[in-house]
């Protein structure tokens, strides 16, 4: 058990190191020299002044030295200073992470509840219900998020006035953005649920349960859904992890100041410390969610317990 956990942690650290290197390298190789932004106006672009800035920001060090310095600071919690806002990157993130996390969590609750419910409905009822669920969720997913956002804003925000049209701060504000985000995941979750349940339903032990006189409802709950839980949980986890890095459109559409908008702004202004920190945060969140999913699997399937 101890070695298993140790191996797991070592793997996570290695993954994070590798991604941090890639992220840092990508920012380094990106076109555009941050010095020109740091210098300010055109009148400042004298060789002496540029050299001074390079020295101040350690931009003239070799790549590896820069990387290691950044990594060392990041490990101790110092993510650097934003070139644009001149604030600590850590502070910028702390201000914006709660909004994005709240948004993703809200959306996750929505698509898990409705996606799984629709999938179960499609599997159990079959026929027309199945076709309606497939058509409806496919439609919901194929609508681009900015279109869905606009439609939701104009209907529920402007015409009916049930929800605020933008800004963050409360669950109330996050409802329309979370719905927009969840719509994109509905089709895949309901389809995976339906497929896993249909596969489980064909298994012999389900027939055995039916032959022992169990009611259909109990067969679905105790055997079919229980057996389908593994793939459903995995898929929900992966989709949630994906959403963490995909909130940009929704955040811009609803003027939420979350991590997504921060990232886009940082990329546009060549604000490397912020870009690197946000990307690293997204990767970390993704790894955390997928690891959690992996850790939950043995609880769902006892066979996974003895294998590992």
Partner 1 sequence: MLLEIRNLTIEAGGNRPILRDVALSVARGEVVGLVGESGSGKSTIARAVLRLLPQNAAARGQVLVEGQDVLSLDDGGLRSLRAATVSMIYQDPRSSLNPVRRIGDFLTERMVHTLGRGRKEARGRALELLAAVGMRDPELRMRQYPHELSGGMLQRVVIAAALAADPALLLADEATSALDVTTQAETLALLRGVQAERELGMLFITHDLHLAAAYCDRIYVLYAGTVVESRPASALFADPRHPYTAGLLACTPELGDPRPIKPIPGRPPSLDDAFAGCPFAPRCAHAVAACASSPPPSVAVEGGSAACHLIKEEAPAC
Of the candidate residues 46, 207, 255, 308, the single one contacting partner 1 (CB under 8 A)? 207
Number of residues that bind partner 1 (CB under 8 A): 22
183/110 Cα distance (integer angstroms): 9
Is 202 among the residues that bind partner 1 (CB under 8 A)? no
Is 173 among the residues that bind partner 1 (CB under 8 A)? no
Of the candidate residues 173, 194, 201, 223, the single one contacting partner 1 (CB under 8 A)? 223
Our CB check for partner 1 shows the closer of 4 and 307 to be: 307
Beta bridge partners of 88: 81
Our CB check for partner 1 shows the closer of 86 and 306 to be: 306
Which residues are CB-contacts of 149 (< 8 A; sequence separation ≥ 6)? 176, 177, 180, 249, 250, 253, 254
Is 69 among the residues that bind partner 1 (CB under 8 A)? no
165/5 Cα distance (integer angstroms): 46
Contact region with partner 1 (CB under 8 A), list: 35-43, 66-74, 180-188, 208-216: 208-216
Backbone angle region of 270, left / alpha / beta, with phi > 0 → left and psi within -120 to 50 → alpha: left
Of the candidate residues 222, 255, 288, 308, the single one contacting partner 1 (CB under 8 A)? 222
CB atoms within 10 A of CB 91: 13
Our CB check for partner 1 shows the closer of 166 and 298 to be: 298
The DSSP 8-state label assigned to residue 133 in this structure reads: H
Spell out a b/e string for 51-60, using b for 16 or more CB atoms within 10 Å of the CB, else e.
eebbeebebe
CB of residue 117 vs partner 1: minimum separation in angstroms? 21
Contact region with partner 1 (CB under 8 A), list: 3-11, 56-64, 76-84, 221-229: 221-229
Is 227 among the residues that bind partner 1 (CB under 8 A)? yes
Is 68 among the residues that bind partner 1 (CB under 8 A)? no
Sign of CA dihedral 16, 18, 21, 26: negative
Of the candidate residues 1, 29, 160, 211, the single one contacting partner 1 (CB under 8 A)? 211
Lay out the site mask for partner 1 across 287-306 (x = CB under 8 A, - = otherwise): -------------xxxx--x
The torsion of the CA quartet 167, 170, 176, 179, rounded to 10 degrees, works out to: 130
CB of residue 192 vs partner 1: minimum separation in angstroms? 18
Our CB check for partner 1 shows the closer of 90 and 230 to be: 230
Let me know how many helices (H) and strands (E) the chain has, helices first: 15, 0
Is 226 among the residues that bind partner 1 (CB under 8 A)? yes
The structure tokens listed for 253 are: 């559409």
Residues that bind partner 1 (CB under 8 A): 203-205, 207-215, 218, 222-223, 226-227, 300-303, 306
């Amino acid at each position: 058990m101890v070695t298993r956990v140790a191996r797991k942690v070592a793997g996570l650290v290695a993954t994070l190191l590798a991604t941090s290197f890639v992220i840092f390298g990508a920012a380094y190789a990106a076109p555009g020299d941050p010095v020109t932004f740091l210098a300010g106006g055109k009148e400042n672009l004298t060789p002496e002044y540029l050299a001074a800035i390079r020295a101040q920001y350690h931009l003239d060090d070799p790549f590896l030295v820069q990387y290691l310095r950044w990594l060392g600071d990041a490990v101790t919690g110092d993510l650097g200073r934003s070139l644009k806002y001149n604030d600590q990157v850590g502070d910028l993130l702390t201000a914006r992470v709660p909004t994005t996390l709240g948004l993703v969590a809200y959306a996750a609750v929505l698509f898990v509840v409705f996606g799984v419910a629709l999938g179960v409905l499609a599997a159990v009822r079959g026929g027309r219900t199945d076709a309606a669920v497939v058509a409806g969720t496919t439609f919901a997913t194929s609508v681009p998020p900015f279109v869905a956002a606009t439609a939701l804003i104009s209907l529920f925000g402007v015409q009916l006035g049930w929800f605020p049209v933008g800004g963050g701060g409360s669950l109330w504000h996050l409802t329309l953005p979370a719905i927009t985000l969840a719509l994109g995941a509905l089709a895949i979750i309901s389809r995976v649920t339906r497929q896993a349940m249909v596969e489980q339903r064909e298994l012999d032990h389900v027939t055995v349960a039916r032959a022992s006189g169990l009611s259909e409802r109990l067969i679905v709950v105790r055997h079919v859904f229980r057996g389908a839980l593994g793939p459903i949980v995995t898929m929900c986890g992966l989709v949630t992890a994906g959403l963490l890095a995909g909130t940009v459109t929704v955040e811009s559409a609803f003027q939420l100041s979350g991590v997504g908008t921060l990232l886009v702004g940082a990329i546009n202004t060549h604000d490397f410390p912020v870009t690197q920190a946000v990307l690293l945060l997204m990767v970390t969140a993704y790894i955390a969610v997928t690891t959690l999913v992996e850790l939950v699997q043995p609880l769902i399937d006892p066979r996974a317990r003895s294998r590992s």
